[in-house]
A and B are shown apart, each in its own frame.
Chain A
């Protein structure tokens, strides 16, 4: 395959059916940021450690820096751009964010936890949030913000 040859991939992006032209070796994070202009997902480490690029693939959190776009063909993809302000609950008053670099990823994982109250039976918030690194807050503000978001709603 030559360098410039693009391939077409269909998927559901934030609830909308989309067909996009991408390079076969393209990472999902690059497709989102550079082809689709969805720059909410951040690149912190590019190797799966920090979670700043967290998206949902078929409803589960995944690092967009570790997925090829061809791998989400036919899947349901959701990004931080689909999150509504109301979904944030008390995160914006609890000190859950300072510089903001980690915040899109933190919010994605937090909203996933909120969608799945049954996880509280088996997991602590800290275990579920372990894939989102934050250099600023010391995590307490994040955990308090999520705990205050009424996980049962």
Chain B
């Protein structure tokens, strides 16, 4: 399908695409490719090394999965904060990735778990680490003839796992500042959302944590976060608020989960 219509737009749960959907067909200059019939793409599978989520796997599928809860608790933690049940039942992890919102909630936890995006087209399969997937605001390493078919997460044991979403209220609010952090045998992963054109890892903060530098207050993290992010002023928040909150949220998360650090 994507070969015949390489510019067509895949539709998964449609919870992003159908917002502001025009009623008349002539307002639609595009072709859509509905994935609803592809039940093979909806699965949660495990092997020795990895967890694989199908491209049509929803938030609710993961919320209901006991093994995901045990091994990748941040997935559930984030999923439960995406909209409400009516969105969680339809919205997919792959849709969250390709929608590429800088304030998405699924992407930061996937990135903190070193997720790999599996893309497929008639030309073959390509794998891109989620961490390298975004090139700029809504710019990503996906050709229009490629479908995301799966998301793969390596299985590791984690000493630290954090996801914090700061919004205007608890339920159904767009993230003003988001933070996902993990620590495993491969090191620290610190991922910030809504503070840059794309969700991204924060290498300076990760380096600081690797070096075991003392972190005694949010100020000790603020400079590194400032190097790694470019928060903006918009209708939901100001850049100064975002920068301040990000460092504080990270500091308090470290205090509770890695008390030796502070």
Contact = CB atoms under 8 A, between A and B. Distances in A.
Interface of A: 1, 3, 23-25, 27, 30, 47-49, 51, 54, 57, 60-63, 65-68, 70-74, 109, 126-128, 130-132
B43 interface: no
Contact of B14 (A49, A66, A109): A66
A73 B86 contact: no
Given A71-B11, A128-B85, 19 more contacts: A25-B28, A48-B18, A48-B86, A54-B86, A62-B89, A63-B90, A66-B18, A66-B19, A66-B90, A70-B34, A70-B36, A71-B36, A74-B37, A127-B80, A130-B84, A130-B170, A130-B171, A131-B83, A131-B85
Given A48-B15, A71-B34, A131-B172, A27 B21 contact: yes
Given A47-B19, A66-B18, A68-B34, A131 B90 contact: no
A25 B21 CA distance: 9
Q: From DSSP, what is the main secondary structure of chain B's interface residues?
A: loop
B85 A109 contact: yes
B83 A68 contact: no
A73 B37 contact: yes
B60 interface: yes
B25 A67 contact: no
A49 B60 CA distance: 17
B26 interface: yes
A51 B23 contact: no
Range of interface residues on B (Cβ < 8 Å): 20 to 34
Nearest to A53: B86
Considering residues B11, B25, B34, which has the most beta carbons from chain A within 10 angstroms of its beta carbon?
B25
A27 B11 CA distance: 13
B18 A25 contact: no
A67 B14 contact: yes
A60 B37 contact: no
B86 A62 contact: yes
B26 A131 contact: no
B87 interface: yes
A127 B86 contact: no
Given A47-B19, A48-B15, A61 B85 contact: yes
Contacts of B11: 68, 71
A130 B87 CA distance: 11
A88 B21 CA distance: 33
Contacts of A66: 13-15, 18-19, 87, 90
